[in-house]
Amino acid sequence: MEEKALVLHPERCTGCHACEMICSLVHDAECNLTLSRIGIMKTNGGGSKENIPIVCQQCRDPICADVCVMGAISRNEGTGALVVNEDLCVGCKTCVIACPLGGVLYHHIKGCAMKCDLCSGDPECVKSCLYGAIEFLPMDEWGRKARLKGAENLGRIFEILYK
């Protein structure tokens, strides 16, 4: 399958939370911001209002999978997503603290780690976003550029961590 990845455009995000609603709805059958795998970071300092979507970037060399003492995070070969095996996960939160991007979260009801699984290859958040702030693009040259540009907007922090 062609490799695709989520590309985030903070400058297009209006902070409407539609992606978070749909994410928790499709995964946990309820609209609950605390159960969403994608999160909107809202900032209101220094005079500039910003909305920054944050979601797992499905790293090539994922630290969350390395630190998992149960080997519960593995790559789904079909979608390329790193998925949590909830039967194995013991909820120790090591992956949550290890991810530099805040891409892994803790499911406070199930008591295990939760993260973006790319909705089996058809991410609902992409479809729910009316402003094109989340795109699911093939990782060809153009897709990579778009992803890099989105990353630059994230305060260039991706650049440091992925050098």
Place of tokens 């080997």: 71
Q: How many residues bind another protein (CB under 8 A)?
A: 35
- Considering only residues 3 to 62 of the shown chain, the ones binding another protein according to CB under 8 A are 41, 43-50
User: Distances from the Cα of 65 to the Cαs of 18, 69, 96, 98, in angstroms?
Assistant: 29, 9, 11, 10
Alpha-carbon span 49 to 142, nearest angstrom: 29
Spatial neighbors of 140 by CB under 8 A, at least 6 apart, are none
Question: 26 vs 65, which CB is nearer to another protein?
Answer: 65
Among 23-31, 69-77, 125-133, 135-143, which window interacts with another protein (CB under 8 A)?
Answer: 69-77
Residues 121-150 that bind another protein (CB under 8 A): none
71 near another protein (CB under 8 A): yes
H or E stretch at 145: helix 141-153
Interface residue list for another protein (CB under 8 A): 41, 43-50, 63, 66-67, 69-71, 88, 90, 92-94, 96-102, 106, 155-157, 159-161, 163
